[in-house]
């Protein structure tokens, strides 16, 4: 499909674009604030739309969401052809709040326009979202808690049950809606409590501050830990590993994990050769140089800035790869490089969670 994705540079939009890039062959037209005025022209070249752009906070939250919908309505009507239209709605739809009211009105206007042109409208009602690169005090209370835990701030909370869906799960629901036969999807998240989320983040900090990975024995723990560690990157890396030396030689502990699966491997790399050049959607992965010198390079998908870490086996350290970041490792010395790799899960060839992409693509980011 040729898919127009609005809000492509936002929290959910970035994750949806990432998942589309990793798992589909769809051609994506990204719409952001910068090219929003070009919407009618951009609509001419697509057959499907995923509308994520929205206003989440502020005095004009209702009017803002309706205004965005009206712009799309005009573009749909001007296109004069049937479209598959997916709307990233909310479980707050029609609940009487400004946000819920704005979402409900936006859905009604969009659905009417799409059906008037003979298209198909799919309404995806999303619960509370969390995940990597969320903005504190904007996208999710989880992002706010992550910042508070990292900075040692005691947040004020009102404990209550809450349903939380990881943003990659939300992205998959929007992608599924492109081919859904129903008019509405209601993806579900994990049932947790506000206090429980804060307690887990504190547990993660207590483990990770000592160099240990926390218990990663459930999907929710993995998703929340990936959210936590994304906020630490790149400031806390590389992580220094403590060597223990005696007459026999040197011993370095590279990984400790309190629970879940785990797989360790090592590679040798000849001088000048680069390994990696891929990214992951979910995998927790650690690189530790045991012997030799190397440059470990990372780039967040759809951006151009590359972050380089210069590592040396004489001062053992580890870099943990954040999800959605392309990464590689290059032997920069004249001798063979020895690197240990650890992943939180066993490698499964049917779902490898490894997607090829160069760290430094010709012509800039994709």
Three-state secondary-structure class, residue 13: helix
Q: Do 2-198 and 239-356 share a fold? A: no
Using DSSP bridges, classify how beta strands 285-291 and 317-321 pair: parallel, antiparallel or unpaired.
antiparallel
Q: What single-letter DSSP state applies at residue 92? A: T
Q: Which of 344, 30, 3, 13 is nearest to 167 (CA)?
A: 13
At residue 366, the pLDDT reads: 60
Q: Where are the domains of the chain?
A: 2-198, 239-356
Contacts of 324 (CB under 8 A, 6+ apart): 14, 15, 18, 132, 133, 279, 280, 281, 300, 301
At residue 270, the pLDDT reads: 97
Regions in the chain scoring below 70 on pLDDT: 364-366
At residue 80, the pLDDT reads: 86
Are residues 91 and 125 in contact, defined by beta-carbon separation less than 8 angstroms?
yes
Give φ, ψ of 79 to 5 degrees.
-65, -30
Burial of 275 (0-12, 13-18, 19+ CB in 10 A): middle
Tens of pLDDT, residue by residue over 270-326, are: 999 999 999 999 999 999 999 999 999 999 999 999 999 999 999 999 999 999 999
CATH fold for the domain made of 239-356 = Jelly Rolls (2.60.120)
Instruction: Judge: domain 2-198, CATH 3.40.50.720.
Output: yes
Which H or E element spans position 91? none
pTM value surpassing 0.85 = yes
Cα radius of gyration (the chain)? 23
């Amino acid at each position: 499909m040729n898919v127009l994705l609005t809000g492509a540079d936002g929290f959910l939009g970035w994750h949806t674009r990432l998942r589309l890039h990793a798992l589909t062959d769809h051609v994506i037209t990204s719409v952001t604030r910068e090219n929003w005025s070009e919407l009618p022209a951009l609509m001419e070249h697509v057959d499907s739309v995923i509308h994520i752009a929205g206003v989440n906070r502020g005095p004009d939250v209702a009017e803002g969401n309706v205004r965005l919908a009206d712009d799309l309505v005009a573009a749909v009507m001007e296109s004069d052809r049937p479209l598959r239209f997916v709307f990233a709605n909310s479980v707050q739809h029609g609940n009487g709040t400004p946000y819920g009211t704005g979402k409900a009105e936006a859905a009604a206007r969009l659905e009417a326009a799409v059906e008037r042109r003979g298209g198909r409208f799919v309404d995806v009602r999303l619960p509370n979202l969390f995940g990597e690169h969320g903005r504190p005090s904007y996208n999710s209370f989880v992002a706010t808690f992550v910042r508070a835990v990292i900075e040692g701030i005691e947040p004020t909370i009102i404990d209550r049950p809450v349903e939380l869906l990881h943003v990659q799960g939300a992205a998959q629901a929007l992608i599924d809606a492109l081919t859904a036969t129903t008019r509405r999807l209601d993806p579900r998240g994990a049932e947790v409590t506000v206090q429980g989320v804060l307690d887990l983040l504190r547990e993660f900090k207590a483990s990770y501050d000592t160099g240990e990975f926390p218990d990663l024995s459930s999907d929710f723990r993995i998703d929340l830990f990936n959210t936590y560690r994304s906020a630490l990157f790149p400031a806390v890396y590389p992580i220094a590993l403590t060597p223990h030396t005696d007459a026999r030689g040197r011993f370095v502990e590279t990984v400790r994990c309190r629970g879940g699966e785990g797989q360790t491997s090592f590679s040798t790399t000849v001088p000048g050769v680069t390994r990696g050049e891929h990214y992951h959607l979910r995998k927790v992965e650690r690189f530790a140089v045991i012997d030799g010198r190397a440059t470990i390079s990372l780039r967040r998908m759809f951006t151009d800035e590359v972050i380089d870490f210069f590592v040396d086996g004489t001062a053992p350290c580890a870099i943990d790869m954040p999800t959605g970041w392309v990464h590689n490792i290059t032997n920069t010395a004249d001798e063979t490089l020895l690197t240990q790799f650890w992943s939180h899960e066993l490698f499964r060839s049917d779902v490898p969670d490894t997607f090829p992409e160069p760290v430094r693509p010709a012509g800039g980011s994709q």
